Chains A and B, each alone.
Chain A
Amino acid sequence: MKVSLTVNGSAIETEILPLLRLSGFLRDVLGLTGLKEGCCEGECGACTVLLDQKPVNSCLMLAFQAQGHEILTIEGLGKADITGLQQAFLDVGAVQCGYCTPGMVLAAEGLLRANPCPDEGEIRHGLAGNICRCTGFETIVQAVFSESAVRQGMGR
């Protein structure tokens, strides 16, 4: 079947198998391997992408369901350079093995787009669908706080 969608700002039209997951389409067809298919049951969040600005698990969505929608993966977040949010993750050491990081960053980006000034509880609630087994989450929360302050003009 045919699907037309926008991925990282580029219009794409292609033939796909009906039961191809969005995660498989992005990784195996388009080569966007930043997202990871960790658990394939909505627990780990490593496959998180933004669908029309909102975080979703790309492993729990069929690719044809993205027809007409806009998808943002980690590769499209900062095309020329890394974004301030990604820099904040680096600055506070919120990246260790890196497996969860693309999904974590996109979940955080979705949170900040919906709620530019989250408190700690809102950050933890907003990132609850992303599991990190290295950092212990403290530095990730710090990174999101830091980027939230920058976006409100309060500096890092």
Chain B
Amino acid sequence: MMPLAIAVPADVAELRAAIVSSMNPVRFLAGGTDMLIAGRALPEAGLLIDITRVADMAFISTDGSDICIGAATTVATVASHPGLRARLPALCNAAAQCGSVQIRNRATIGGNIANAAPAADLMPVLTVAGALLRLIGRDGMQSEILLGDYTPAHGLITDVILPGAGLLRRSAFVKLGPREDLAISRLNLALLADFQNGCFGAVRIAAGALSHAPLILSFAEAALSGRKLEAAVLRDFLSTLAAEVDAAIPGRNSQLYKRRAIAGLGLDLIAQALGLSPRDRLFEEAVE
């Protein structure tokens, strides 16, 4: 096997050429914040492609109907982008809670997806937003795939597309970790919803760190969809959240605390989405 070769393509054409022309295994490197962790094997042969210098792979476009984010966009950029915050604040909130300042300055949205950590903070938001991934395959061909269907075998992620039709007006992201900052989520929740005249319309909810990939909580969605915001509805919602945990991780050591913790997270989720205080009397009534 040939020793490790490095490629640093400047644009997508060079990137595609590097992928297609390599006869050896190809690995990709972006921020490196997951790949370079001590103890993880680094490639000793084949081709390592650094994608951080590829023009047009680090951008956020929110002007069109769809939101489009280049895969090499840093998590710090996602967290602080005003146009994105105006349309999908939950994604900015999730990004702002990823790792530390140092991590966010290097880590990328594409890396957060490809690393496939069950607790990845961006993933539940991207899931409820119905994200599509634009890819370059090993044959150099471009394709698109649903986020939930993606594995790294499909190819390199070049863009993350959030279809405009799937973006609802309210969004929220909350997480529970062992400490306030620089915490890997023990549990996280993302929500997109329509809400008018005191009633929920469509609702989409996903949880991270309950399965190998984000879990869509369809019973919790049904507990809110089309219903009025009131204590009785929230009680139903909290019951379904606990049931979702029971169904997802039966018998796991973490089941007991997660089925309780998800209640607090669930109310925080609603409060954030609707711009209410988590100490609002409504929430106190819901847990009485």
Contact = CB atoms under 8 A, between A and B. Distances in A.
Interface of A: 1, 18-19, 21, 39-43, 45, 48, 51, 54-57, 59-62, 64-65, 67, 107, 110-111, 124-126, 128-130
B105 A61 contact: no
Interface of B: 4, 6, 8, 29, 31-33, 36-38, 42, 48, 50, 52, 76, 99-103, 105-106, 180-182
A140 to B, nearest CB: 14
B8 A41 contact: no
Contacts of B52: 65
Contact of A126 (B42, B48, B101): B101
A43 B182 CA distance: 8
A42 B37 contact: yes
B101 A111 contact: yes
Contacts of A1: 6
B36 A45 contact: no
B182 A41 contact: no
Contact of A60 (B6, B8, B36, B181): B36
B103 A64 contact: no
A109 B176 CA distance: 29
A57 B182 CA distance: 13
B37 A40 contact: yes
B102 A55 contact: yes
B73 to A, nearest CB: 15
A125 B181 contact: yes
Contacts of A42: 33, 37, 99-100, 102-103
Nearest to A18: B6
Given A18-B48, A43-B182, A60 B37 contact: yes
Shortest 3 CB-CB contacts between residues of A and residues of B:
A129-B100, A128-B181, A40-B38
Contacts of B76: 54
Contacts of A67: 8
A60 B101 contact: no
A61 B106 contact: yes
Contacts of A21: 36
A39 B101 contact: no
A129 B182 contact: yes
Contacts of A41: 37-38
A124 B102 contact: no
Contacts of A51: 105
B50 A64 contact: yes
Contacts of A56: 102, 105-106
Contact of B100 (A18, A45, A64, A65): A45
B231 to A, nearest CB: 31
A62 B8 contact: no
Given A42-B33, A60-B37, A107-B102, 5 more contacts: A18-B6, A18-B48, A42-B99, A42-B102, A60-B36
